[in-house]
Structure 1
Amino acid sequence: MQASLNRRLLQLALIPALAFALLLTLFFALTLIWQSQREFSVQTEALTRAAVPAILTALRLGDDEMLDNAGQDVLNAPHARSVVVLSSAGELMLQRGSQVELAGEAAALTADTRGPTRLLRVDERPWQRIIVPLQDSIDPEQPVGWLQVDYSTNDLALANYRLISIGALVALAGVGLIWLLVLMLSRPITLPFYQVMDTLRELSEGRLSQRVKVTHGGDLRALGEGINQLAAALENARDEMQHSVDQATQDLRETLETLEIQNIQLSTARRQAMEANEAKTQFLANMSHEIRTPLNGVIGFIKLLDRTGLTQKQKDYVSTIRQSSESLLVIINDILDFLKLDAGKLELERRNMNLRDLVEDVLDMLAPMAQEKSLELIALVYEDVPLQVIGDPLRLRQVITNLVNNAIKFTDKGHVVVRIASEGQSSSRHRIRLAVSDTGPGIARDKQRSLFRAFNQADASTSRRFGGTGLGLVICQRLVQRMGGKIEVESMEGDGSTFAVLIDFELAEDTVEATLPEASPLAGVEAWYWEPQELASLSLQHHLERWGMSVQALDAGTPPDLAPAPPEGQRIILLTWQPEHHDWLHTFARRARDYGVPVLLLTRHNDHSESLRELEQLASGTMNKPVRQNRLQTLCIQALQTQTGVPVDTPPRLPRILVVDDNKTNRKLLVAFLADFGIQPEEAEDGSEAMARISQHDYDLVFMDIQMPVMDGVTATREIRRHELGDSHLPVVALTAHALPQEQEELMRSGFDDYLTKPVSEQQLVQTIRRWTGADLHPPGRLETLSETPEAEAAQATSPADAPVDFRLGLQRAGNKPALARDMFQGLLDQLHETRGQLATLLADGDLEVLLERVHALHGVTRYCGTPELETRLSTIEHALKEDDQAALAPALQELLAVMDRLLHWSEQEDWAHWLEEARSTAS
């Protein structure tokens, strides 16, 4: 700051002075140079003219010596450099000094004799040339010759440089003198400013006690006093502000102490709330499991009770109890799923799945409930949808099941449609839209917001028609969000509802179905069909056209005109059973049989009328609705083949299956079930033997038990997955007597593709084999779907009232094979004798792992025998062992041993083979 002020003062003083000194020096230097040059010109001209008379005389006399002397006199003059004398004709008369030719100007004057006599000066640095005519008084107009003298200007230039140097030195000395004067005169002015600036710097750094020392008068004194007043004001303001800050700090410190206490209290309350919530969640989960275990027993015994000799009124009561129990079980399952989602403990799996098969499985399962209300279930899958995707089939099936179940529950008439459409794709992902639409009453717009709130329903009044927890849609929404998608609802009151799920699925490697129209064995076959429901008709038409069939819709009541008939085996008729059109259907089916055209009948699950049975006698095959694409194709092929006797297509290859179970009875049951479908499976006793067989043979499917000696099922499955190469994948289905939800998820993460809970039925086997191998299995001579007949459901148990075994149930679980049921019950008795004395010892020794292994093996055997009480006791103790419930183990084991003793004592006292035969006779 000080240097800046001095510099400005010096600039203000020195710049004008320097400019004036330079101008003055330049003026005097130029003036002196001009005067010196003028004096030089006058002097040289005078010297040149003074030599003219002597040279002119020498030329007239023709005296060369005199001319030479005159020229030498000119060279002796100051600054003379050379002398040249020319005649009037331009002839060189004399040349002394430097060798310089006659100037062009002199030659011109020589040639111009008419011009006046004159003096010509030529300046050519570093010399000055003077040319004068040599004229005499006789003829002044005509020069006798010319005199050229060159004078050196070096001395003149040196004198000029000296003048410039002296002038510059004088100017610099003047500037220096001025600079010293400015320094001396500016000090009294700059010193007070320096003091003011120092004081201001101290004030800016916070030292507000500093003051300016006022030693001068005038404006500087006023400036210093003003700064001092400002400093005093700032100091006072600082003191007041510091006081305020101290007070605020004290208040803030007290506030922080209060907040800290409150934070500690809130943290404690939050921890207690979290612990309470965790305890509540754990309590609800445990209670749900504890409730579900006896509830499964209740439902099982209700089914057994329903098969005994009951009056119609008692049957109604039992039916009500069963429906209430099943509803309670659904609620408990919803609560468990909600708790897992709420705690973030639900893990999704990734595996290949077929969207069409998944939707058709759901509709198959819910069809009886929908058909009880005369609702039509329809699946519409658009052509551009990639069916093979990667996801969690279990959870996606849960979402679709919930949405379809809700649609059925809230719809009194009409239909429920599941549409699968494509919404576009990006790289390897494809956005799929699964929409469930119904013709129900719809949902008001103001109530749609509450649909996805937990424990909330659109109709929350006490007079609402439908029950439930209000968790279903919440669970669906959270599951869909976990899958990376979203769920939407479109509804208008009185106009039905549509719940749509949009998910970006990762495409599986095989995204194209193998059955294309040109490759279909049904290509070119005429298909006549009658389906009164519009959307169901559209779905059926899509199926038939996809196989390359020529499709024609029929009108009810139109007389059947089957002529002209196409070649044999080139036409098939599909008719939907409707009681109100039974006359027309009977007439059409009879005429078709007369023409040799096969008829397929599409029926409902709850259709058992006498008229339908008569129509079935005319049909080549029947199929329960809703229609499954693969099942319908198989029925068409088999119907054409049966009608014509000519194979339409090569029968599908039966899958090669490996059954792995350490229990010989369980293996025997599965082998017997599969043998009914023409499959001869191979067997393995443990995971190690299964690995050896898999390394030697190619299998299409493996049924794997979980708990086995040598190598358990989980280890074996992991080894199978580790040795798989490239795109090869062997489907492995877990067989387990009892699996908790977390155990089921662990099985999927361990590499299993699916799981079946014992007891395994024929229907479960068929669906599982169809899902993982594509084989559509049917028992010999039977084309309809597998389901229990009403006669089987009405069969009465024939066991004694006090017997701990239900032989009719055991016979049913053995696939109505008396020999197999007898072997299985005998195997159970043998295992009871073997393990009865071991269980209490294992519990007393604390060897719970071996105890769980023994209980699990025994539990698996009871799943295929009619011993519900023993099965329930084993399930209870197995659950306690898995949950490590030490308090419940001892009493559960005592109850189990009592049931085992009662069963063994009864089997020794009674002819149980007789009762088994009685059960078979009654069922048949």
Structure 2
Amino acid sequence: MSPRKQFHLPASLSESPWGYFQVDRSTGVLLVWNQAFERLYGFEDEAPGGITMDEFYVFGGGGSFADIRAQVDDHGFWRGRTSSREVVGAIIEADLTLQHSDEEPVLHGYLLEHPTVGGRVRPSSRSEFNMLQMLMEHSPDIIFIRDQLGRVLVSSASFRVAVGLKARSSGDVGKLLEDFISRDIAERFAAVDAEVLETGKASVNHIEEVCFLNGGKCWWMTTTAALIDSLGQTIGTLSVARDISERKRYEKELKVAMEEMQIASQAKTNFLATMSHEIRTPINGVIGAAELCQETYLNAEQKSYLETIIHSGSTLLALVNDILDFSKIEAGQMNLERLSFEPFHVLEELVESFSSQARERGNELILACEPDLPGYIIGDPLRFRQVLANLLSNALKFTFDGEIILRAQVANQSRYGVTLDFIVEDTGIGIEEDRLEAIFESFTQADMSTTRRFGGTGLGLSICRELVSMMGGSLDVESTVGKGSRFIFSLPCEVPADPGAEVVEQIGELAGTRVLVVDDNGTNRKISCALCKQWGFEAESAIDAVEALRKMEAAAEADAPYRLILLDQQMPDLTGLDLAAIIKKRPFAENCKIILLSSSLNREEVDRAKEMGLARALSKPVRRNVLLEVVMETFGVKRAADALSRNGTEFPVAAQIGRRVLLAEDNLVNQTIARTRLTKMGHEVTVVEDGAEAVEAYVKGEFDLILMDVEMPNVDGLEATRRIREVEQAEGKTPVHIVAITANAMDEDRQACMDAGMNDYISKPFRTDRLQRVLGEVDAALDAGDDGGIKPTVEVEVRAWLKSLSPEDRSDMLEAAKVFSDSLEEELVELRRSVRERDEYKLGRYAHQVKGVASVFEARELLAAAESLEAEVKAGENWTRLQQKASALENALISLERALAVEPEF
């Protein structure tokens, strides 16, 4: 019986592609071997029985098996180069490893094959192997080759040193990883190996903290791949690891630093919120008291002092806002909204708000918008306005007796969106070329004297550029010292579906009306003429009185006289009123209407214009729609939107109803100011000093509005609001309107108020007009919530209106009412869907369409609700408020439908 049949190898060894055998420890007789061993040495079915190691191998240096065994006894293994004797098969040389066994009186042998040709090792293969060994020995990476059982066959010096052996040691051969590292980590490596051997896919950059049995620790990033022999068989794994302990240490330090930075950032945020509250509270007191004082009887000197106080307080508030915005941007806490809004209306409001400042400095403030400007864009209207307001403020600050133009134009348009350029040009002091980029740096102005002369923090343009960058746009500047500056704000915008351009109304009755624009300012002439042409007029211009008179005379002689003159007041040589006096005396101007436009309109100019018989005197800059309305009024033409008053009756503005207001405020100064303002408006005010008292007062009384300070002792405003909402839900009460009043100005503060269940948010210091707006919204919400049936006034008004019509018109209106009623349900479904989907654009467009319906049926309530919703969409400030306005519009539509359904008796 052959030795191979006396012993049985496990399948993993028997079928292993590595040559394996066992030898008797005492006699050196080969006891058993696997198929790979037979293949390597060319054995056939049976190997020679009882052959010894000395008969089979020639050991280097003339040594014998006894010498080799002694080394195994001393070191646990032996590894070296051997040659086979001629009595055996094909392989001539092999790398042989013998390893001691603790369980059996045998030695385990492992062979590493070298490719052969005709029984001889190829020299190139040997050199390749030597090169591989050299690379492994000198590589800083940790390299180890293992068989399918996970035993180490070959390793680099770095591996041996890492596991605690000497660099030239062979003590790792035949060992498992768990002989060097903790068992749990070794098992994780084994799991990786198993997956690699099963799938054939390499495991790349497996990161593990390795704990060695000698007490050491380090992080390995290991890549393991399957090892394939020349026959394409998987014979083990090759692993290359890199010690990344230093990198992990840096990562840990970075993580700690980031956590510390976040803690510091949060501390800074808390500090800013606290400082915002502490600073805004006294500012609120100063401005509020001054405004209340202005409403008393004062002499001119006292009024001047109060104006100084209010101006200084407003300036201080602007500085606080700049610092807060800068800090929010720096902390990465500035979030932008995505709302649909009308850019043209924002621009008009901006120019109007800065017009008084422009007049004070003798400046001409001009808005120049291209006609193809989109009607709606999607973005953050608040930050959009902030950027342009800052640019206009700077232009006004550094310009005296000059010109400031705000331009808006389409720079690029594609199916994906549009890029708009908003340009602020001035004729001010200009900026040195080497300071053009410096002005965008924080706390920096063109030079230090600028701060002393003009004031400011030097944060405005820095904040603007950051905001513009967050919007995906760019902010650049061109300037010439002594001639002025040009700031270009380029903004890529998403345009809502089917936005259209800004709709410019054309009036058929005035089509072809000849208009003469008289203005010494070229930009104004160009803009006014373009606007008149958009309205369907024929417009020409004149630069001064001489040219104007010449053109008027020539037009009259050609039997094509001007019917309207848009006349600038501030012109050299002759003022507008002086020219108007001359025109009025000329026979060719008998039927010509004159509208005076003045940058510094005062009572004297208004009275003089009236005495001379001018159509109107308007203050520049004048809004486009206002100018059109004045022109139409001058010629006795009514717009479609004015159908509500076509019977010669104008609707009175309803006075604000006195409401019951609960004021929760712990600061005595703020209490006094708010209570005084509310009382003067005709409201009944109850004052409490903390949140607990607010909840108690609400439970005991009935209120239309609660003004809730957020920062209060004992129970703050947020908790008080939550408790009130719980009471409402438990008792089935209609939710009361709760508005936060707080000095905290951070975005998260506003969101916290909304999350607590508040309806709105007023940041201190709040002005009388802001308070009036909130109270107006309460009125609208309370009116919309009245579901007790049709108000008698609605039915009476509709019946009276129908009765006033001729039989033919009445018949037409009743047919229109049927069409309105049939389509209402479907339209209400769309309205509710737009609310659910928060589609501001659709809500705004629908509100605009409803205004037309209101004009057809003389529906005041519906018109007011539609205008209110449209205005809220444009403001884009509060979604809760917008929902309320949409609900009010729906109620108004239903009320009108019910009113029209009542069959009138005529």
TM-score (norm 1): 0.47
TM-score (norm 2): 0.48
Structure with the higher helix share, 1 or 2: 1
